[in-house]
Amino acid sequence: MTPATLFCGRYLVVRRLGSGGTATVFLAEDQTLGRKVAVKRLHGAEVTESTAERLRREARIMASLHHPSLVTVLDMLTEDEDLFLVMEYVPGGTLGDVLRDAPLEPAHVLELLRPVAEALDHAHANGVVHRDVKPTNVLVGDRGAVKLADLGLATAAEITRITPPGSILGTPAYMAPEQAQPVPCTPATDIFALATIAFQGLSGTLPRTGSTALAVLRQATTMPPPDLRERQPGTPAAAAEALSRGMAVEPGERQGSATELLDELETGLGAPERTTAAPVAPVARRRRTPADVLAAADVEPPAPPRRRGRAGRALAVLALLAAAASVAAVVVLARDDGPAAGTGAPAGEATSEATRESTPEATREPTEVPAPATTPRALGPAATVRAFYERAAEDDFAGAWRLAGPRMRAVYGNSRSEFERQLGSLERIEFPELAVETRSGSTATVRVRTVATHTDRVDRCAGTLQATRSGGRWVVEPAGLSCSRGG
């Protein structure tokens, strides 16, 4: 490439700004209008007369979007076998450069991502989904302006098949699970990516890592979203919950807009820490990555403080849940403090109120607290299962009890005091697998694998639980679990 190179008879190359696997970005001079532009050249596009026309239609849509936090798409052209995306030039760096210093102060993360959220909402309101939101597609100008770039590039790539056969379009670490499926992307896809970037900015680590795109997507599909509190101890529970909801497996469980995600996160970060329980400890131990957020390392988070001793029957609940398979076995397991799977929640997706209820005396049956009204932020089936167990693991028995359905409550003789007694020894729980297996109307089957650590043992369970919609929210019911108890 020489300085005299002219793209599409109009854009004179000044210098190369950067390159990636399938594209190179150049600073160029628009010979018609006499202005500097950024030209992204994507190699090997299979451009035909049909796809070229579709590209022109897409370019008109992108060019019609005007927002101060969107990099303006000026043109989309084809020449030979290459695709050219002509964009507004923003001198400066990218959010990827800024995140090299992560973790950042929460206020700084919010300041950087608020314009991105507003830009995404504007695009979504006009029927455009970005599909490849990542730090290097967020430009941070020399004068502090933050702008989302490459809007519409993913659509163009899908139209022209510029990616190699069998490859997945997008950057794996920020891709939503549905991007590996033959389904249309929706605004929820971009919300997932924005939540991932926020997690990275606040923790200095990526929530998921892997050697291939499919490996990372498999984590996002089969494992619960990581809890920010695992990577950044002291994070308010509500903030961790906001990000976990934003990275939920099911698109419908995520926030309704990018701005709503940022609003929830900002509110959560400003929420006071709970004072009625011990400091939040990691619910599940996971790998941490170094500050450059690119390479995984086996660094384990600090061990959580041990909770006060109680009756050693916390996992009896999941043995009881196996009643559908064997009533007699349940009776024996319950009497002998047998295993009860998943009596805690994995990191990240459960709701934790800023103000917890005071736990009533063990000898007095508590008054039932009315369920909260349904809102757009209501938990979905998988999130409800995890919230049920996480609240119990954090001693929020009132919150967990509200998420128990009639059959689940019957397991404990409809007594919350018995529920508290049986769940007293649980210290933490990991969910290697947690996903909605089937869903029909107001009923969903949730497949789980759990590793629950108690004061005196470690129990492992696998199988399914049921979530049913009741009173405008989901509640947890028994289904079929198989458990083993370890020392």
Enumerate the active-site residues.
132
**Contact predicate 133/116, CB 8 Å:** yes
> Which long-range contacts link 287-293 to residues 24+ away (Cβ below 8 Å)?
287/209, 288/205, 288/231, 289/204, 289/205, 289/206, 289/209, 291/100, 291/101, 291/102, 291/204, 292/100, 293/99, 293/102, 293/200, 293/204, 293/205, 293/206
Contacts of range 309-313, beta carbons closer than 8 Å, 24 or more positions apart: 309/425, 309/455, 310/421, 310/424, 310/425, 310/455, 311/421, 311/422, 311/424, 311/425, 312/337, 312/425, 312/454, 312/455, 312/456, 312/457, 313/337, 313/340, 313/421, 313/422, 313/424, 313/425
Mapping DSSP to helix (H, G, I), strand (E, B) and coil, where does residue 401 land? helix
Q: Are 217 and 172 in contact (CB under 8 A)?
A: yes
Counts for the chain of helices (H) and strands (E), in that order: 15, 13
Rounded Cα distance, 5 and 389, in Å: 62
